[in-house]
Structure 1
Amino acid sequence: MKKIAFLLPDFQEGGMPKVASNIMSGLNSDYSQYLILLDSESEIRYEHNSKVLGVCPKGQTKLQKMKVFLKRIKIVKELKKKYHFDVVVSFGVAANIINIVSNQNEKTVCTEHNVKSIENKTWGFFGKIYDVLIKLFYSKPDHLVAISNVMKEDFIENYNLKKDIDVIYNPHKINDIIERSNEPLNSSEKELFKNKKTLINVGRLTYAKGHWHLIRVLAELKKSEPNIQLLILGQGEMEEDLKKLSEKLNIQDSIQFLGFQQNPYKFIKHSDAFVMSSLFEGFPNVLIESLACNTPIISTDCKSGPREIIDKDKNIHKKIKEFEVHEYGLITPQFDGNVILNDSKLSDSEQQLKLAILELIQNKELYDKLKANCLNKALEYDVSNMVKKYEEIFR
């Protein structure tokens, strides 16, 4: 039996742990599985069927973080020597670099989950270091996996990577999502949806998710759709700013900040539309999850992922100024990245998001058509299809 290890920073909230969990659950019985967590104090929130190996706690200051990074390389190398893994799959820059430089002749598979030339700019000092490390080391693993074609192009154009890059979309346990979406709402949760047109967004409350745009749009929507509301599921450093914005716009009664939810799918299922306002993504799992819940989707045309999901032609180079209607959802123009926490006039891209939402919730024929297409589209990304591509690499 082959030994395979999954190397991640942590196994808490976020896309990478969820993807790793789904791959682990979908692998055939040929593999003995291990989970290596760089943060040994990480809370484990996702399912796994593996032996857990913690590395060490994370540092706080820049100097501590650099020392911890070097310490982690040493410990992971020791773990590889001890367990003699056949394959080690890593997730994200820090884990990928550690996987590469600690190699002990096992097959190294590095996966990336965001457009690095954009994301690294938001990380300041460490983002610049990561840019250098990517250029130096990402040509060295046996396989480099990008989760969208936009990400693959970003590696080639901005990091001059000449090696073959595999593109594998994130796997999802569609049947599990459907089953969990059917979990009954409790009495207080039912009240949330009573006599309301409900928009929902699920994601960490960070800059990348652009929630302030969605809140500003909601304030304008309220003028013609007084019964419309927004549910926001997630936690993050922008939570207080977003709550203050909703109060400034006098729509705090129409926005529910529900925090982290163990089962977001039952909330998505009972909502009228999922709206994603992100400035950038890797591959937005939540759009697939919403389709599995039979909830129509609207997304900004951000890099990367939404167009590859919603646009059947996957025309990733297309630039738009007005919203588009496709078979699997609506796409609106990309936001410019400016944080706007006031009641100023909607920007052109915000105005297009508003018009797209109105088109979806007021056009019953369109709404029913999109709803009918949801599940079949979601099934394309089922674990049974995507994990086969990973197994080919592992072999």
Structure 2
Amino acid sequence: MKTNGKLKVAFFITSLAGGGAEKAVSMLLDSLCGVTYELHLIVNKLEGPYVKSLPEHIHVTELGAARLRSALPILKQELKKINPDVVISHMMENNLLIMLAKLTGKFSFKTLLCEHSTIQRKRFKGANMLRTWTYSRSDGVIGVSAAMGQEIHSVLKVPENKVHVIYNPVFDSDFIQRSERPCTHPWLVDMDYPVIIGIGRLVREKRFDLFIEVIKELNEGMNVRAIILGEGHLRSELQEKINGYKLQTKVELAGYMDNPLPFLKKGNVFLQSSDIEGLPTALIEATACGIPIVATKTHTGTEEILNGGSGIIVEREDVNGMVDAVKLMLRQQRSEVSPAYYQKFSSEQAAEEYSSLIDKLCI
């Protein structure tokens, strides 16, 4: 419990891999005041690009289980050692695990469960029934978009007074400075042809297979190139698709980048081809960088970000629609966003809202 008058707050996530949820957790830990809280981070594996950004005052616990689902006994042991006032868990598997640990271990800490992907995403059979039972027993459930908050209440039947909407933090004090750094990629230096940018983990729901098909179709009548920033288990499969279409000089899987912003500043169009998003971080960054945008309509997040006027939204899996929209946006000028937009998705705003929830739970 309280140490030196500070509340003990523990964040729980699988790792600090290069996804939006992991980035949000690392930014929240950096923004929440270490003077006010004793901050802990519980991970199964201490790995990923955001490890290096952890502030020194964060107490880190690595469970080290072979698989997350087998981590329950270790998690309960570590929770006894930490003895937190509040645990903030992120993503479905961790949310279920922390509630199972609390209920079976008879812990008294408060819980906040954060969902980062649409509730309508396909899960294992009975997933929603299990979430309904456990989430309703939590002290609060956070959706990272308004649409997701509605899903948590309507689909999972979590009482409305327990549902909170807090946007993931995307902008910090260094955002503009990082966006203005030079981009040395040769395709964005010479700019012989328009360059389409894609950002995200190389996983099925991001649908980079369709992204590549869009580039193939565009190159039937014009010359364009594409750079995809991100890593994931589909790298080999996507590279085979690129090779099969003979697009090796047109599409590059450039890997994970610590700072994708200069690519967004220099590129001609940002294309989101996803089937599923929660609150797409890359789309928020793209909007802030002013690059013309084409985005697929996802269950949550996308329309809230674009707000009806910052890009073209097309239906999921509609390759022809994406092709036509990219052609239109290649003729668009870059745009600017208001200071209010930066504030809406700022680390300070998110930290303030999390802090308010934490304090209310512990009164």
Question: TM-score range, shorter-chain basis?
Answer: 0.7 to 0.9
Report matched runs for 1:102-181 at 5 Å: 102-103=101-102, 104-120=107-123, 127-128=124-125, 130-163=127-160, 164-181=162-179
Moved more, 135-144 or 79-88: 79-88
Specify the alignment match of 1:16 in structure 2.
Answer: 21
Counterpart secondary structure, 1:252: coil
1:2 alignment partner, one of 1, 7, 15: 7
Asked if 1 retains the 8 angstrom alpha-carbon contact of 2:206 and 2:276, the reply is yes
Q: For residues 50-84 of structure 1, what are the alpha-carbon distances to aligned partners after superposition, in whole Å with 9 as ceiling and x for unaligned?
A: 1111112333xxxxx64x1xxx2232222222222
How many Å apart are 1:215 and its aligned residue? 1.3
Mark the CA change 1:140 to 1:327 in structure 2 (over 3 Å): closer, same or farther: same
Report matched runs for 1:1-395 at 5 Å: 1-28=6-33, 29-39=35-45, 42-43=47-48, 45-46=50-51, 47-49=53-55, 50-59=58-67, 66=69, 68=70, 72-103=71-102, 104-120=107-123, 127-128=124-125, 130-163=127-160, 164-186=162-184, 189-194=185-190, 195-226=192-223, 228-311=224-307, 326-335=308-317, 349-363=318-332, 367-368=333-334, 371-373=335-337, 377-395=341-359
| Percent pairwise identity | 24
Asked if 2 retains the 8 angstrom alpha-carbon contact of 1:174 and 1:289, the reply is no
- Separation in 2 of the partners of 1:78 and 1:185? 47
| Amino acid across the alignment from 1:357 | V
Counterpart secondary structure, 1:128: coil
Question: Structure 1: which 5+ residue stretches go unaligned?
Answer: 60-64, 121-126, 312-325, 336-348
How many Å apart are 1:98 and its aligned residue? 2.4
Mark the CA change 1:138 to 1:180 in structure 2 (over 3 Å): closer, same or farther: same
- Separation in 1 of the partners of 2:172 and 2:324? 30
Mark the CA change 1:84 to 1:153 in structure 2 (over 3 Å): closer, same or farther: same
Mark the CA change 1:119 to 1:176 in structure 2 (over 3 Å): closer, same or farther: farther
- Separation in 2 of the partners of 1:166 and 1:82? 29
Counterpart secondary structure, 1:18: helix
- Separation in 2 of the partners of 1:202 and 1:76? 33
Asked if 2 retains the 8 angstrom alpha-carbon contact of 1:55 and 1:76, the reply is yes
| Amino acid across the alignment from 2:202 | L
Asked if 2 retains the 8 angstrom alpha-carbon contact of 1:293 and 1:375, the reply is no
How many Å apart are 1:17 and its aligned residue? 1.1
TM-score (norm 2): 0.88
Asked if 2 retains the 8 angstrom alpha-carbon contact of 1:198 and 1:231, the reply is yes
- Aligned residue pair count: 344
Mark the CA change 1:197 to 1:359 in structure 2 (over 3 Å): closer, same or farther: same
Asked if 2 retains the 8 angstrom alpha-carbon contact of 1:111 and 1:144, the reply is yes
- Separation in 2 of the partners of 1:146 and 1:56? 28
Counterpart secondary structure, 2:330: helix
| Amino acid across the alignment from 1:271 | G
Question: Structure 2: which 5+ residue stretches go unaligned?
Answer: 1-5
Mark the CA change 1:44 to 1:268 in structure 2 (over 3 Å): closer, same or farther: closer
TM-score (norm 1): 0.81
Asked if 1 retains the 8 angstrom alpha-carbon contact of 2:293 and 2:329, the reply is no
Asked if 2 retains the 8 angstrom alpha-carbon contact of 1:117 and 1:131, the reply is no
